[in-house]
Chains A and B, each alone.
Chain A
Amino acid sequence: MQPTATIRRLKAAGAPPRLSAFAQWADRHFKWLLVAPAVLLILALSIYPLLFSLVVSFINYDFQVPGHAFVGLKNFERVVFDPVARWSLLLTAWLSGISVAIEFVLGLLVALTMVRSFPGRGVIMSILIVPLFISPVIVGQAWTLLLQRPFGPTNYILTQLLGQEVTIGWMTERPWLYISLIIADVWQWTPFMFVILLAGLTAIPPNLYEAAELDGVNAWQAFWAITLPHLGPMMLLALTFRLLDAIRMFDTIFIMTGGGPGTQTYTASYYLYTVGFTQFHLSQATAGSWLFLIFTALIVTLLVRRLLKVEPV
């Protein structure tokens, strides 16, 4: 063992070497020196930008209007009274809500089939987690290749399966473009739910089920009486983490629909991106991102705090 060897070497050297004044000071403040680099980096590249953007959201910072005059709440007003902004927030809520719900149910079902070991389980496990390691950009690209007319084979396959001509514009027609975005999200993130819920399921003591079986409880009752209560904290954790990521949805939209047609697939992030980086109304975009930040912070305080009380770290 290396550490004991180290200690032995130090012992052999006799009394602990006398430390210089600096080393003594460093040893006294050791715990603060260790956190310093991380704290300084976060301060410089996260807290300072946030404060800076708070300033920007109250002044004029627009590549189309010169000067940096103080404008009060005007930037916030512009966002709040922009129908596209409200639409994008609504769409963010709908898309993330539906995607996360589907991912949860599907993930739970797949996790339930994978609890008990069977031949080939390891290989299947490795395959099922693959989407987690792919850039969302590529996921969007892959589904575009499958769905987009005339290249994608999806309509052809559906035509063969259903026995009648299918000509769906997956990337251009409502509601299909929303369905396409949800499918891409479900494909990528169902494994997330599955992995966490499976960890929760395998942690339930199997003798509970054995006892239930002896008592003549059927599988459905056992699910309600044993699985759900034990899995509760894990479900909350998986849902919270996933929801907080889902409301940022941007990459797949950027690749698959470009927010279009028109503004029909603008999510909150996509809206703020276009306002800031294609229209260059930077102060309006920062004001909007602060509003979005407040929404997110509300979800975090409501869900994460409760969650970490349930689940002692």
Chain B
Amino acid sequence: MAAVAPARRRKRRSLPIGRILLLGFFLVFVLWPLYWMFNTSIKPSDDYLTVPPVWFPAAPTLVHYEAALFTYRGLDGLINSLIISLSATVLSALIGTLMAYSLARYNTGGRHLSFWVLSQRFLPPIGIVLPVFLIYRGVGLYDTHIGLILAYTVFTLPVSVWMMFAYFRGMPKSMEEAALVDGCTRWEAFWRVAVPLAAPGIVAAAVFAFIACWTEFFFALILTSRTAFTLPTVFRAFIGFQGAQYGEAAALAIVSLVPSIALGVLAQRHLVRGLTLGAVRG
């Protein structure tokens, strides 16, 4: 080991120029739209159409944030998004963990059941949302928080189940077996032994479920209207910018992307598992 370490360190030379250029180009490509959005959100309306464009406003302002949150009901959307995403996340993580444990430890339903859940992830939303819309209108769930919470719970279940399935599979059984031998019921072995041990995995799965709900647009567009509308649907007001609400649109975008980016970057250790439903260990 001691002989290997210095060799490794020598490999840590600086990057060749081509790689630096590629990485630099890509960094600019990623950051530029974000910067421009931030810039637009604090720009006074007089600076919108100048040539050359204003790269940074001389007199930054927060008026667009105020207008986006209050005039365009962005705050209502934000609150709805929080209620709906948090509730759906808790439900999905709870129900998903229950199922994942059964699949991982008891092989319930063989491969069929787990693949059936996985296949839900790949259904085109348009195929589900049309009939759900008709059903919701019939039973009074259209444009309600509960309606969207249920839809989002189902929509995030494949991710929760498969991430937790992989997590339980990677966990040694011995603790739970010891608990069973000592006379615990299966439920106690699960709830008091396995769940506390799997807590980091559950949190990671919940974070990805939350981000999925927070950024979702299509279900919210069709299943809500004036009451339970979420933050992404508020952007409909800015389509085409007929009212030149560049600043309002940018301000609302900044407000809504901060929570999901913060969570995502915090959970980045689990990102590969989150993106591949646990199929790849990062």
Contacts and interface: CB of A to CB of B under 8 A. Distances in A.
Contacts of A168: none
A262 B193 CA distance: 60
Given A127-B31, A313-B166, A289 B246 contact: no
A16 B242 CA distance: 72
A269 B128 CA distance: 12
Given A7-B184, A136-B217, A46 B272 contact: no
Contact of A49 (B131, B196, B197): B131
B217 A251 contact: yes
A222 interface: no
The SS class assigned to the A binding surface is: helix
A14 to B, nearest CB: 9
Contacts of A272: 126, 130
A227 interface: no
Contact of B183 (A15, A137, A187, A251): A15
Interface in B230-247: 231-232, 235, 238-241, 244, 246
B183 A50 contact: no
A35 interface: yes
Q: DSSP majority for the B interface?
A: helix
Given A148-B241, A286-B131, A128 B33 contact: no
A255 B123 contact: no
Contacts of A248: 124-126
Contact of B182 (A11, A34, A110, A244): A11
Q: What class of interface size applies to chain A in its complex with B?
A: 35 or more
Nearest to A135: B215
A289 B53 contact: no
A225 interface: no
Nearest to A139: B33
B27 interface: yes
B71 interface: no
B84 interface: no
A188 B95 CA distance: 30
Contact of A145 (B157, B166, B250): B250
Interface string B120-141: 1011111110111011000000
A142 B105 CA distance: 45
B203 interface: no
Contact of A244 (B33, B122, B221, B282): B122
Interface string B99-119: 101110110110001001111
Contacts of B238: 141
Contact of A142 (B37, B196, B275, B281): B37
B130 A35 contact: no
Interface in B179-213: 179, 182-188, 190, 192-193, 196-197, 211
Interface residues of B, number: 112
A42 B154 contact: yes
A151 B48 contact: yes
A7 B40 CA distance: 60
Nearest to B183: A16
A130 B34 CA distance: 10
B15 interface: yes
Interface of B: 11-12, 14-15, 19, 22-23, 26-27, 29-34, 36-37, 40, 48-49, 51-53, 95-96, 98-99, 101-103, 105-106, 108-109, 113, 116-120, 122-128, 130-132, 134-135, 150-151, 153-154, 157, 161, 166, 169, 175, 178-179, 182-188, 190, 192-193, 196-197, 211, 214-218, 221-222, 231-232, 235, 238-241, 244, 246, 249-250, 253, 256-257, 260-261, 263-265, 268, 271-272, 275-276, 278-282
23 contacts: A16-B184, A27-B185, A27-B187, A30-B190, A38-B117, A49-B132, A114-B23, A124-B23, A124-B27, A127-B27, A129-B264, A130-B34, A130-B261, A145-B36, A150-B49, A156-B51, A199-B282, A241-B276, A255-B235, A268-B126, A269-B124, A269-B218, A313-B169
Q: Which 6 A-B pairs have the closest CB atoms?
A: A16-B183, A133-B264, A135-B215, A34-B102, A49-B131, A31-B106
Given A30-B186, A142-B36, A142-B37, 10 more contacts: A3-B192, A30-B102, A38-B96, A133-B211, A135-B217, A196-B272, A251-B218, A289-B126, A292-B126, A296-B122
